[in-house]
Copies of this chain bind each other. A is one copy, B any other.
Amino acid sequence: MNSISKIVDEAVAAFSTLPGIGKKSALRMVLHLAQQDKKKLEDLYSAVKNISDRLIRCKQCHAYSDSEICAICSDPVRNKQTICVIESIRDLFAIEELKQFRGVYHVLGGLISPIDGMGPENLTIHSLFKRIEMQPITELILAIRPTIEGDTTSYYITRHLNNPSIKISMLARGVSFGSELEYADELTLSRSLLNRTPYIISE
């Protein structure tokens, strides 16, 4: 293809590095942007510049934050005694979306995975233990995905937590809502049967 503009080419290259964006979508974005007024373009590049220059990690929970302590950790309404331990900040957004959880978070930044060279020292697990030493915590919710790495991480945290007064819970596991039993994997189905719960009639 004859390059018509280096500026367009470079912009397409930059936008195609975004997740889920191929060359065609990137070109579509760039041509769209080229038609926008300066104000909109300014919003976009100052957004990117702010991510680069001003976005930091919360010292307490390690989520993205505009200040040393994030908006959730410093919110007086949130229950600081319940910590929801999650793998990544994406999980935080997914849980916040539910508008249900009123505690605080701790972002591990990954899961223990010896194959990938990820040990507890690469995660924020020790910062979690320190946090528990410093503050009165009553419950730790391990909202970690049900995989080998997830289970290893949950196990590690549980084993190394020297505080029997803290209640440790994990997300319920079983068949998903709306799923068809015949397509559920064996492990999920067999565990759902083993861990069956009493039937409750909701009125």
In the complex, A128 has a CB within 8 A of chain B: no
With a cutoff of 8 Å between Cβ atoms, the chain B residues found around residue A148 in the complex are none
Find the B residue at minimum CB distance from A27: B93
Contact, CB under 8 Å: A96 / B2:
yes
Number of copies of this protein chain within its complex: 2
A90 interface neighbour in B19, B31, B41, B43, Cβ under 8 Å: B31
Find the B residue at minimum CB distance from A71: B4
In the complex, A47 has a CB within 8 A of chain B: yes
Contact, CB under 8 Å: B96 / A7:
no
A34-56 CB contact bits vs B (8 Å, 1 = yes)?
A: 10001011111101111110110
Contact, CB under 8 Å: B33 / A64:
no
Find the B residue at minimum CB distance from A61: B4
Contact, CB under 8 Å: A55 / B8:
yes
Q: Beyond A11-B51, A52-B38, is A19–B32 a contact (Cβ under 8 Å)? A: yes
In the complex, A92 has a CB within 8 A of chain B: yes
Per DSSP, chain A at the interface is helix
For residue A15, give the distance in angstroms from its CB to the closest CB of chain B: 7
- A6 and B46 alpha carbons, distance in the complex (Å): 13
Most buried by B among A4, A32, A45, A90: A4
- A13 and B44 alpha carbons, distance in the complex (Å): 9
Q: Which of A1-37 contact B (CB under 8 A)?
A: 1-8, 10-11, 13-15, 17-21, 25, 27-34
Contact, CB under 8 Å: B55 / A51:
no
With a cutoff of 8 Å between Cβ atoms, the chain B residues found around residue A48 in the complex are 11, 33, 41, 44-45, 48
- A201 and B90 alpha carbons, distance in the complex (Å): 58
Enumerate the 8 nearest inter-chain pairs by beta-carbon distance, A residue then B residue, closest first: A41-B52, A11-B47, A14-B47, A45-B48, A45-B45, A14-B44, A7-B50, A14-B43
